[in-house]
Amino acid sequence: MDWTRKKLYSQYDKWSADYLLALQAQAAQSDFRPTYHIAPTSGLLNDPNGFSFFNNQWHLFYQSFPFGPVHGLKSWVHLVSDDLVTWHNLGTILNADTAYDSHGAYSGSAMVIEDRLFLMYTGNVRDKDWVRHPFQNGAYLDTDNHLTKLSLPLIKQPAHVTDHFRDPQVLKKDDTYYALLGAQDANTKQGKISIFKSNNLTTWEDLGYLNFTQQDMGYMIECPNLVTVNEKPVLIFCPQGLDKNIINSDNIYPNTYLIGDNCQLKNGEFHSTHNIELLDHGFDIYASQAFNAPDGNAYLVSWLGLPEIAYPTDSENWAHCMSVVKKLTIRNDKLYQEPVAAFKNYRKCHAELHGMLNEHQQIVITENATLSYELEISFLQNQQGTLSLLSSSNSKGLRLNFSTSNNAYFEIDRKDCGIPFATAYGTKRRVALEDNAPLKLHILIDHSTCEVFVNGGEFVFSQRIFPNDDDLQILLASESEVIYNGDWWKISNMT
Ligand code: FRU
């Protein structure tokens, strides 16, 4: 399809029902369709939005363009879940159909207000000269999952920011509401986080920028998120154009976090003695959204995809998916992420894995691991080797290289795993580990997704992969003597 501006921004009712059904049928038949990750029924999915707990269910929305694998006119698709693992798709709920969101219902967040769920989102508007006018809008979802938009915007673009002003996160602290927004300063063209405050969710006062770092955050910050984890404020955000000396990431844009010591939104202060860190060390995480749930936990979900990168399923007219939901904790001043415990309820066909390899040996640990499984495996200290997933005698698969000796590291190499893509951004991602310590990996594979939680979630590597569907072995190759212990489970199909 030739994606002209007119096609990208046509109202949804201009597309034929038959065309949409054909796209949905094509996506449903894809070999790369995950079974326990949220994926679009057709077209493109990007940011998670409105992650919340309301009316006794978990709610999650995502940015959607259902008519092709491109960033066209965005709407919100609504999903609900009872356990944060199986999600039921309730369809498109927030359309771009008013004067204040005519060119896209962009990202935003949710907060329970009495018996309704308040949604705050960015209305993307372009005028006839294609100049962008961002509006921060509101809507309420009732307990019948019926949505009513507010007729007027809540926040208009202040003079001190450019038209890059979006992705409100609505928060409540001490009876006052706040909204954090991604912004670009009009004078310096630097990425900022804007703060607004309100007593009634209707009139909003501009408090300027959040003071959280002296470092230059590039030219734009998208999707800012403030969440409390083990009583500490944690700021999660996506800086664009960040200097590699601040965060050394090979991804086109990183998703980062900063643990704070305290945060006073009313003064715009986020005080921290920590460094800004990468939220995920894999190839494909962006726009993560976290919230503090009534069960006392902080949960995070991410877009398992990146802007401006072509993916192999583009040719099948669907693109991207969501990560699994991760529970956040802080241990030893580090942010840990682990898949939610309810995953354990979906385990089937257990196999115990343990053994020993001598130096320079290779064994098949599992002959047919399927394309939808969970693997927990640990290695002792002073060992070096490679665990290859989705491999066969003809294919090296997805290689997880490790050393638990001196200069310990963990590395993922996706160069020889199925269809190559985004290779201009490198094919390896690596972290240094504590020397001479054991290594524990918790791996989730789901057709075209791979999420690796290293050492209980101290580091996470999340990525898309597009393997051959007959490369189903798990292989282990040793450089030194290697002793391994683990468990494999098939994950049952939940969709
Ligand atoms: C991040 C983002 C947001 C924006 C949304 C539009 O991926 O660019 O800043 O609200 O996507 O879909």
Whose C-alpha lies nearest to ligand 1, atom 8? 222
Say which DSSP state 425 is in.
G
- The enclosing H or E element of 485 equals strand 482-491
Between CA 156 and CA 340 the distance in angstroms is 38
Ligand 1 proximity of 122 Cβ (cutoff 6 Å): yes
Residue 166 Cα to ligand 1 midpoint, Å, equals 8
Whose C-alpha lies nearest to ligand 1, atom 9? 222
Beta-ladder partners of 474:
366
- Of ligand 1's listed atoms, the one at least distance from the Cα of 238 is 1
Residue 106 Cα to ligand 1 midpoint, Å, equals 6
Active site members: 47
pLDDT digit string (tens) for 170-189?
Answer: 999 999 999 999 999 999 99
Between CA 240 and CA 452 the distance in angstroms is 25
The type of residue at 295 is D
Write down all domains in the chain, each with its CATH number in brackets: 5-339 (2.115.10.20), 343-491 (2.60.120.560)
- Of ligand 1's listed atoms, the one at least distance from the Cα of 222 is 9
Q: What are phi and psi of 298, to 5 degrees?
A: -105, 125
Residue 495 has pLDDT above 60, yes or no: no
Which residues lie closer than 8 Å to 160 by C-beta, 6 or more apart?
A: 185, 186, 187, 208
Between CA 380 and CA 378 the distance in angstroms is 7
Ligand 1 proximity of 61 Cβ (cutoff 6 Å): no
Ligand 1 proximity of 301 Cβ (cutoff 6 Å): no
- Of ligand 1's listed atoms, the one at least distance from the Cα of 182 is 9
Whose C-alpha lies nearest to ligand 1, atom 12? 106
Ligand 1: which of 106, 164, 253 to mutate, judged by most atoms within 8 Å of the beta carbon? 106
Ligand 1 proximity of 169 Cβ (cutoff 6 Å): no
- Of ligand 1's listed atoms, the one at least distance from the Cα of 63 is 12
Weakest-pLDDT range from 312-316, 390-394, 418-422, 437-441: 390-394
pLDDT digit string (tens) for 416-459?
Answer: 999 999 999 999 999 999 999 999 999 999 999 999 999 999 99
Ligand 1: which of 9, 45, 46 to mutate, judged by most atoms within 8 Å of the beta carbon? 46
pLDDT digit string (tens) for 222-231?
Answer: 999 999 999 9
**Integer CA distances (angstroms), 454 to 79, 249, 439, in order:** 29, 18, 7
Ligand 1 proximity of 446 Cβ (cutoff 6 Å): no
Q: Please, what is the average pLDDT of the chain?
A: 97
Asked whether this complex has an ipTM greater than 0.95, the answer is yes
How buried is 408 (Cβ within 10 angstroms: 0-12 exposed, 13-18 middle, 19+ buried)? buried
- Of ligand 1's listed atoms, the one at least distance from the Cα of 106 is 10
The two three-digit tokens of residue 177, written as one number = 């509401």
Ligand 1 proximity of 165 Cβ (cutoff 6 Å): no
pLDDT digit string (tens) for 222-258?
Answer: 999 999 999 999 999 999 999 999 999 999 999 999 9
